[in-house]
Amino acid sequence: MNLRRIFWLLPIVLLPLPLWLNQYQQYVLNTALLYVPVGIGFNLVVGNLGLLAFSNVAYFGLGAYVSGVLMAQFDVPWWITLLPAALIGGAAGAIASIPALRGVRLFYLAIMTLAFGELMRWTYIRWEALTGGSMGMAVPVPNLLGWTLDTDLRRFYVFLALVVMLVAITDRLLRSRFGRAFMAIKDNEIAAAAMGIPTDRYIVLAFAWGGAVVGIGGAMFAISVGHLTPVSFDLTELLRQFAIIMVGGLGSLTGTIIGAVIVTVAPQVFISFPGFDELVFGLLIILVILFLPRGLASLLARAHPVFVERYYRG
């Protein structure tokens, strides 16, 4: 008997939720949903593989702009843009893994990959013909097989379906021998190679898979905000995404979901004080590191064995 199956009830329980929310709250809920894949990709590399790569915002921005530009300039339907958004996000992930393959680790890797994200932001600003430069670009209202996604309520159901799918696939990946390989690399890379694990291949795979999932999150972001500007992909954004995986729990899929919700909802408390976001993310990160270094997921894991994830230590 697999108690974990009850987790699949959660999306069903969530179905009527937006009906009780006002339009703004629905928008916040959608934002929390789209940050689940964004956090999943980030956590796969940082939490499961154990490499400190900060290029997540690059994949996020690429996914958003690929989707937005294809829709606005080439009339490609949104759901079709998900594929190139994932592919380009994945390719960017594979490229970002190159320094790691060359043996760059820790803060050297962090800085190099961080520069990748900043380089992409510079590209969005400079490539005005496609992106509208620093003024940004409008993203057309998407259409899903004849159904116009013009309200947050409608987008919610599409997002929920996408998120459930991505969580399910990543869960499978992490419980397979791939997940065991990631954990072995995280724990002791040399020992992993000594046990016949082709570590380079798995590092590229984790980065590429992470980049692809984040790219899809970017495409969701594009239609959720309806307007893309380079400032959405700056260092504050990186701090937000880092807060998601730290608060949730490094290496935990459940934690990523919790982190996405908390980090999205918490700044709403300070909604009338613009610019407080960074403060909230920073505070959340500090509090979690001090009191719950394994993240909120570790509380759940301690509360009941059903929450214990096979390849995450709570």
Give the binding site for other proteins (CB under 8 A).
177, 180-181, 183-184, 187-188, 190-199, 313
Strands 137-138 and 143-144: unpaired
Tokens 């992930």, located at residue = 93
Strand partners, 148: 143
Of residues 153 and 193, the one with the C-beta less far from other proteins: 193
Minimum Å gap between C-beta 255 and other proteins is 17
Q: What's the token pair of residue 314?
A: 């709570």
Minimum Å gap between C-beta 44 and other proteins is 18
Minimum Å gap between C-beta 105 and other proteins is 17
Q: How many CB atoms lie within 10 A of CB 137?
A: 20
Of residues 126 and 177, the one with the C-beta less far from other proteins: 177
Of residues 66 and 203, the one with the C-beta less far from other proteins: 203
How would you class 26 by CB atoms within 10 Å of its CB: exposed for 0-12, middle for 13-18, buried for 19 or more? buried
Strand partners, 25: none
Minimum Å gap between C-beta 231 and other proteins is 40
One DSSP character per residue, 125-160 reads HH-HHHH-GGG-EEPPPPEETTEE--SHHHHHHHHH
Of residues 4 and 180, the one with the C-beta less far from other proteins: 180
Of residues 128 and 187, the one with the C-beta less far from other proteins: 187
C-alpha 10 chain-centroid distance: 20
Minimum Å gap between C-beta 168 and other proteins is 22
Of residues 46 and 192, the one with the C-beta less far from other proteins: 192
Of residues 157 and 202, the one with the C-beta less far from other proteins: 202
Minimum Å gap between C-beta 186 and other proteins is 8
Q: What's the token pair of residue 32?
A: 């929390």
Per the CB < 8 A criterion, the answer to whether 214 and 42 are in contact is yes
Amino acid at 216: I
Per the CB < 8 A criterion, the answer to whether 248 and 298 are in contact is no
Instruction: List phi, psi (to 5°) of 144.
Output: -115, 100
Minimum Å gap between C-beta 170 and other proteins is 20
